């Protein structure tokens, strides 16, 4: 088989992955794709832009299209959404626990010397952009002085070309027996020039052409550097740590909702499509605005062949009965175009999370705020759990490989996306209301403080702690608290 063959599911989702990544990278990338995202108008085609389905860059139509594209605005809704949701997900750090044998991975988890928290951030970012990422546990090529510690390599969705995780009726766990990864990249040669090198890493366990036949073979890997290369089992090598092999492929898939091999739709693909719709609408709207200022002078009754000048210092000399006037594009539809764009931008802003603001000046109860934000961040919970689950799985592979207890690996993501802790001013307001006769007890106020994370002590423990306070704190009353909060 050709080493760069693609899984049917890859072909089903790759266009969405590219669309989302291009939208995330922004205007320069989107515009560099030309007609992929912005089709030429009928006028551009009529002026010779396309010749036999290829671009005629010397035509008037192509030059007009380039101006049309240049005036269009591509808004960074996708990038804003990813950055906004990353900020929400990482408002508090996750908790990662490792056995002693893997503690070095806390600071050096990848070949780029990223720590585990940085790696998890990249995982979450890719989950938001394309909804898919892969992690491979690999070994360094050079010996390590204090024992071999594996590292984790991250693969974006577009680079996970092929896989085989068995048939649906197969009951065996860890049925993954083939993964093909695209590692093609630019490499510098001896002349300091950069050349593109095709390279495909193939991960194998068991019999490649019969997934259900496990046998006793260990995990093996091969790298093929020709785009036309065919799979050669003799090129495979078996990675070892202290003479120990693995009885599974140390690779995990991470999607936006789960960690299974089959991909799912990118969580923000709808926003990416809407952003491109707005981009096309912007092109038409700004072209209309441009044409509004480009009226054409029509001279009636003049027999002069020379160019006509207009403006200050110029004069038109016409024969009797002659006339001159400007004609231009009718502006009747501009209002509708602008309103349509504004409506789409509002929807895009909502999808991008720009209206998720826990610091709004509008007064909102903590319960109502929590419900509202939770409803809008339900997808983030799935992403956080899947990302942490995938990282935990690959780290457990590492623990097993180095002889540690896999159960000692725990990755707990942050799922508290709402900062609803009670503020000092709010506490003062509670106490002021009580002093003015509001029917609320100190126990109730303390319970509210406890629910919002201000204290972990129960009411009786809090009273006991107050009794133990130093004399300097005695006499501090509501007036002092009010002054400090102002």
Q: With residue 69 as reference, give the H or E element that holds it.
A: helix 60-71
- What's the pLDDT tens digit per position in 379-400? 889 999 999 999 999 999 999 9
Q: Give the global pTM.
A: 0.77
Q: With 70 as the cut, is the pLDDT of residue 319 above it?
A: yes
> Pick from 362, 381, 375, 345: which is nearest to 88 by CA?
381
> Pick from 139, 127, 87: which is nearest to 359 by CA?
87
DSSP 342-410: HHHHHHHHHHTTTT--TT-SS---HHHHHHHHHHHTHHHHHHHHHHHHHHHHHHHHHHHHTT--GGG-E
Q: With 50 as the cut, is the pLDDT of residue 323 above it?
A: yes
104 in Cβ contact with 149 (< 8 Å): yes
Residues linked to residue 230 through DSSP beta bridges, in sequence order: 2
How many CB atoms within 10 Å of residue 155?
21
Query: Which band of pLDDT confidence, cut at 50, 70 and 90, is reported for residue 116?
Result: very high
237 compared with 372, residue with greater pLDDT:
237
Predicted confidence at residue 363, as pLDDT, reads 44
Angle at 240 between CA 234 and CA 245, to 5 degrees: 85
- The CA dihedral of 234, 240, 243, 246, to the nearest 10 degrees, is -90
Backbone angles phi, psi at 224, to 5 degrees: -120, 130
> Pick from 118, 116, 89: which is nearest to 103 by CA?
116
Q: With 90 as the cut, is the pLDDT of residue 312 above it?
A: no
Predicted confidence at residue 6, as pLDDT, reads 93
> What is the rounded average pLDDT of the residues 470-478?
51
d(CA 10, CA 14): 6
225 compared with 411, residue with greater pLDDT:
411
351 compared with 20, residue with greater pLDDT:
20
User: What's CA 116's distance to the chain center, in Å?
Assistant: 18
Angle at 152 between CA 151 and CA 157, to 5 degrees: 160
d(CA 199, CA 460): 66
């Amino acid at each position: 088989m050709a080493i760069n063959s693609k899984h049917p599911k890859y072909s089903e989702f790759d266009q969405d992955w590219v669309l989302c990544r291009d939208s995330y990278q922004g205007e320069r990338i989107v515009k560099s794709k030309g007609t992929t995202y912005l089709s030429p108008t009928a006028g551009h085609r009529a002026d010779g832009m396309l010749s036999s389905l290829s671009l005629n860059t010397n035509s008037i139509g192509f030059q007009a299209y380039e101006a049309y594209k240049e005036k269009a605005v591509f808004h960074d809704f996708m990038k804003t959404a990813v950055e906004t949701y990353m900020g929400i997900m990482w408002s508090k750090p996750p908790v990662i626990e490792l056995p002693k044998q893997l503690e070095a991975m806390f600071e050096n988890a990848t070949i780029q010397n990223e720590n585990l928290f940085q790696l998890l951030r990249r995982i979450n970012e890719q989950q938001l952009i394309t909804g898919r990422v892969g992690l491979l546990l690999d070994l360094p090529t050079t010996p390590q002085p204090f024992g071999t510690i594996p590292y984790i390599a991250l693969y974006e969705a577009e680079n996970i070309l092929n896989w085989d995780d068995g048939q649906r009726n197969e009951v065996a766990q860890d049925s993954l027996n083939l993964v093909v990864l695209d590692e093609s990249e630019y490499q510098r040669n001896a002349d300091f020039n950069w050349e593109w090198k095709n390279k495909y890493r193939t991960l194998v366990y068991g019999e490649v052409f019969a997934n259900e036949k496990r046998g006793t073979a260990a995990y093996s890997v091969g790298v093929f550097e020709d785009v036309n290369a065919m799979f050669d089992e003799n090129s495979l090598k078996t990675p070892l740590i202290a003479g120990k092999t693995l009885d599974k492929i140390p690779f995990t898939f991470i999607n936006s909702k789960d960690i299974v091999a089959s991909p799912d739709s990118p969580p923000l693909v709808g926003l990416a499509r809407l952003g491109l719709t707005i981009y096309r609408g912007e092109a038409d709207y700004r072209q209309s605005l441009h044409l509004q200022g480009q009226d054409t002078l029509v001279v009636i009754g003049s027999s002069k062949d020379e160019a006509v000048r207009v403006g200050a210092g110029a004069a038109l000399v016409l024969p009797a009965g002659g006339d001159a006037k400007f004609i231009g594009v009718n502006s009747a539809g501009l209002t509708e175009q602008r309103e349509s764009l504004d409506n789409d931008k509002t929807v895009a802003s909502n999808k991008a999370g720009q209206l998720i603001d826990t610091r709004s000046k509008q007064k909102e109860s903590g319960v109502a705020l929590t419900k509202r934000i939770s409803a809008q961040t339900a997808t983030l919970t799935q992403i956080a759990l899947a990302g942490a689950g995938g990282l935990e799985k690959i780290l457990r592979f590492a623990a097993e490989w180095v002889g540690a207890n896999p159960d000692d690996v725990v990755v707990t993501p942050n799922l508290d996306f709402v900062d609803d802790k009670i503020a000092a001013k709010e506490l003062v307001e509670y106490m002021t209301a009580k002093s003015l006769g509001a029917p609320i007890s100190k126990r109730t106020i303390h319970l509210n403080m406890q629910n919002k994370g201000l204290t972990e002590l129960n009411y009786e423990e809090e009273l006991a702690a107050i009794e133990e306070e130093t004399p300097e704190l005695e006499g501090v009353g509501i007036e002092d608290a009010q002054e400090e909060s102002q």
